[in-house]
Structure 1
Amino acid sequence: MKFKKIILIIIIFLSFLGIGSMLSNVQSREANQLLEAYGLSNNTRYIEVKNNQEVRTFLTYLKKRYPHNKIQVHMTSKAKKNQTLVWSNHNVLKLPTESGRYFTKDDFKGQVSFAVLGLNAKVPTLKAQGNEYVYINQKYYTVIGTLKHYRQMKQNGYYLTASPKQPTGKFKLRDYQIIIDSSNKVIQQIAKHYGVKAKTPVFVKNHQIHQFSIIREILFILIFLLIASASNIILAFMDWKTVQQTNLKGSLLHNWLINHGIRILLVELVVTFGAYFFLISRKFVSKPQHLIWLLMTSWVIISIFYALSILHLLRKEKNNAKTA
């Protein structure tokens, strides 16, 4: 009997993992849309380095340490919120432009820094001999393109290429939040090298989930919830069968059912939190509060099914006693 109960508890745990995974799928899909708007993938994480190292030292380290790994770096300025430095050792995802073009791999190799502007970029520019330049700190950056409108992105931002040989390479690393797009292994190694922790980018965490009600995911959530509820109904019947074998009556019967029911529900509450922490560590979740809300709601629902099943069996016994 105990073995069967353990199996049912495991089924409930797996059902909760399934419910959380469906939410993760929805949030990952939405996050992917946002990340693609930045030319990044879902593997993106960020670190913050507080030493006095220059950007070029950091990029030189990446080139020497990971010559065969695909890495793309966006460094967002802490002081100039609309400035982002971009570096990559491979061809980046080409973002649609209103005019000109986006960066290519070759733009990160030379000594000249290039700029791509948001549609409403707030940065000093000037035109000379038919070309447009960004002018910052007495340095000129050739504008090669202007991005099309993206509702997910701030329109007043501008992007500069970064390279050990370019003027942007002399910027201080501590002045930037470093967003890295690569394999999880590479990102963790880079973070360990600098003694910092890799985290999910702010723009992903703050991204609004606009399409939670995805039909396929909702259907699967309901199916997993039904499986967990059915398991709890079976648990209620097993507990009832156990108490019948004890021949308890009256208040003793009620107390046993209440005490045992509370223990079962507390165990399932622990299972709920176990599923939450497992999913947080293994799945992409941009809004953890949505996950805990969904799992706790699921726990309340299956608890209600357990309680209703016990009440149904109690009433059935009372009716049988009256007719006897």
Structure 2
Amino acid sequence: MKFKKIIIFVTIFLSLLGIGSMLSNIQSREADQLLEAYGLSNNTRYIEVKNNQTISSFLTYLQKNYAKYKIQLHFKSKIDPKQTLIWANHNVITLPTESGRYFTADDFQGRVSFAVLSLNAKVQTLATQGNEYVVLDNSYYSVIGTLKHYHQMKQNGYYLSTGPKQPTGKAKLTNYIIIIDSSSKMINKLASRYKVKIKTPVFVKNHQIHKFSIIREISLVIVFTIIAMSCSTLLALFDWSVVKNTALTGQLLHNWLFNRGVRTILLESALVLGAYLFLSWHAFISKPQQMILLLLLSWFLIIAAYSYTVLQHLRKEKKHA
């Protein structure tokens, strides 16, 4: 009996890993789309402006005329394809980092530009007094983070913050492809002002084609959940068979079932926690709150399956008494 229970608990644990892995696959697939554009959403479009206006004056114009819109811009250099300048008027989508952190809204407000590196960034750096700096044209940019290695991301790029007051803002618009993540209305207005054509990035087109591609993962989540619930039901049946063999009745029966039920719930809770820790360490999780909610829902359904089975047998026992 003990060996059978061990097998059941292992199966529940593996099912929980399966559930979490499917969510990880979904998030990773979203990351395929988002990370290819360095953290942009599916609203992203891009334009090319043939204008010697500086990035600084361009951003000042945006802040003055489009303050009510959430805007994120990536200026991809035509001169150095590995360089991307990033600006936003809100907190950007956070990309996973191997060390340090990704940009926040505050990094675009001051006078100092910061750098985030890909794992194998092809750019000159200098390490001194425990700090790392990107060195470009005799200017130094403090490195605040290094991105994790994921196959979705280019590994030789580097990213610099920019803003109206920052040294990177002195660059000319004509030397960059402007990638815009904002509302369609805002993007259309901006394109109209500069008389340029709006283009759609490849990753957005791919997402539009494959928007129903997560059905398989959702189906497998349901299958794994059913397996885990079935295993929990088997645990309840095993416990009830012990009751029948010992001929417990009355308060003794209720006490025994309560104690065994609490122990089972604690063990299954430990399995859920273990699954989350394992997945956090080995799987891609861009939104931990989604993983936590999914595993908690699975835990609730597993406990519900156990409790329902026990209560049903108790009712039958009372009817026959």
Shorter-chain-normalised TM-score: which range?
0.5 to 0.7
Q: 1:165-201, CA deviations, whole angstroms, 9 ceiling, x for partnerless residues?
A: xxxxxxxxxxxxxxxxxxxxxxxxxxxxxxxxxxxxx
Report the 3-state secondary structure (helix = DSSP H, G, I; strand = E; otherwise coil) of the residue aligned with 1:26. Answer: helix
The Cα shift of 1:254 comes to 0.8
The Cα shift of 1:124 comes to 4.4
C-alpha separation in 1, matches of 2:295 and 2:167 = 38
Report the 3-state secondary structure (helix = DSSP H, G, I; strand = E; otherwise coil) of the residue aligned with 1:72. Answer: coil
> Conserved in 2, the CA contact under 8 Å of 1:76 and 1:84?
no
* CA RMSD, 1 decimal: 3.5
TM-score, with structure 1 as normaliser: 0.54
Equivalent residue letter for 1:146: I
> Conserved in 2, the CA contact under 8 Å of 1:26 and 1:212?
no
1:215 matched to 2:218? The reply is no
C-alpha separation in 1, matches of 2:165 and 2:224 = 44
1:13 matched to 2:92? The reply is no
Q: Say which of 46, 57, 75 aligns to 2:159.
A: 75
C-alpha separation in 1, matches of 2:180 and 2:294 = 34
Matches within 5 A, 1:102-117: none
Equivalent residue letter for 1:72: N
> Conserved in 1, the CA contact under 8 Å of 2:26 and 2:217?
yes
Q: Say which of 134, 138, 148 aligns to 1:55.
A: 134
Unmatched tracts of structure 1, length 5 or more: 59-69, 86-122, 126-132, 135-142, 156-210
Report the 3-state secondary structure (helix = DSSP H, G, I; strand = E; otherwise coil) of the residue aligned with 1:75. Answer: strand
The Cα shift of 1:218 comes to 1.5
Report the 3-state secondary structure (helix = DSSP H, G, I; strand = E; otherwise coil) of the residue aligned with 1:311. Answer: helix
C-alpha separation in 1, matches of 2:220 and 2:167 = 40
C-alpha separation in 1, matches of 2:130 and 2:27 = 34
Equivalent residue letter for 2:5: K
Closer, same or farther: CA 36–81 of 1 in aligned 2, 3 Å = farther
Equivalent residue letter for 1:297: L
Q: Partner of 1:147 in structure 2?
A: 178
Closer, same or farther: CA 212–47 of 1 in aligned 2, 3 Å = farther
Q: Partner of 1:284 in structure 2?
A: 284
1:45 matched to 2:97? The reply is yes
Closer, same or farther: CA 240–47 of 1 in aligned 2, 3 Å = closer
The Cα shift of 1:255 comes to 0.7
C-alpha separation in 1, matches of 2:11 and 2:287 = 25
The Cα shift of 1:226 comes to 0.3
Equivalent residue letter for 1:147: I
Q: Partner of 1:274 in structure 2?
A: 274
C-alpha separation in 1, matches of 2:97 and 2:249 = 60
The Cα shift of 1:267 comes to 0.4
The Cα shift of 1:46 comes to 4.8
Closer, same or farther: CA 293–83 of 1 in aligned 2, 3 Å = farther
The Cα shift of 1:214 comes to 3.3
Matches within 5 A, 1:238-317: 238-317=238-317
Closer, same or farther: CA 295–147 of 1 in aligned 2, 3 Å = same
Q: Partner of 1:26 in structure 2?
A: 26
TM-score, with structure 2 as normaliser: 0.54
C-alpha separation in 1, matches of 2:164 and 2:302 = 47
The Cα shift of 1:55 comes to 2.0
C-alpha separation in 2, matches of 1:84 and 1:284 = 35
Closer, same or farther: CA 267–46 of 1 in aligned 2, 3 Å = closer
Report the 3-state secondary structure (helix = DSSP H, G, I; strand = E; otherwise coil) of the residue aligned with 1:7. Answer: helix
Equivalent residue letter for 2:22: M
> Conserved in 1, the CA contact under 8 Å of 2:96 and 2:286?
no
Aligned residues: 200
C-alpha separation in 1, matches of 2:165 and 2:27 = 26
C-alpha separation in 2, matches of 1:308 and 1:45 = 44
> Conserved in 2, the CA contact under 8 Å of 1:5 and 1:235?
yes
Q: 1:222-247, CA deviations, whole angstroms, 9 ceiling, x for partnerless residues?
A: 11010000001111011000111111
Unmatched tracts of structure 2, length 5 or more: 39-75, 77-81, 83-94, 101-126, 141-153, 188-210
Closer, same or farther: CA 146–4 of 1 in aligned 2, 3 Å = same
C-alpha separation in 2, matches of 1:46 and 1:82 = 29
1:227 matched to 2:311? The reply is no
Q: 1:268-321, CA deviations, whole angstroms, 9 ceiling, x for partnerless residues?
A: 000000000000000000111111111111111110111110011111122223
Report the 3-state secondary structure (helix = DSSP H, G, I; strand = E; otherwise coil) of the residue aligned with 1:55. Answer: strand
Matches within 5 A, 1:86-101: none
Q: 1:19-76, CA deviations, whole angstroms, 9 ceiling, x for partnerless residues?
A: 1011111111111111111399xx9635448745542499xxxxxxxxxxx9413233
Report the 3-state secondary structure (helix = DSSP H, G, I; strand = E; otherwise coil) of the residue aligned with 2:160. Answer: strand
